[in-house]
């Protein structure tokens, strides 16, 4: 039972990591080498939105 739960947790972490990697690849494709400025602008927008 514990091995099954551990397996699901590891698969979930792997899927989350894959989703984050895909997002960064999409940002890089859209923004080029301007990723850091894009992330800073997004974070500023998020702080003002929240």
Inter-CA distances, 48 with 32, 34, 39, Å: 25, 22, 14
pLDDT in tens, 11-42: 999 999 999 999 888 888 888 788 888 888 88
pTM of the model: 0.63
pLDDT, residue 13, reads 97
pLDDT surpassing 80 at residue 50: no
- Its sign, for the CA torsion 15, 24, 30, 43, is positive
- Which two tokens mark 45? 């927008």
């Amino acid at each position: 039972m514990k091995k099954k739960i551990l397996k699901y947790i590891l698969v979930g972490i792997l899927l989350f990591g894959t989703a984050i990697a895909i997002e960064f690849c999409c940002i890089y494709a859209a923004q080029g080498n301007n990723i850091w400025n894009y992330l800073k602008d997004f974070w500023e927008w998020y702080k003002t939105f929240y």
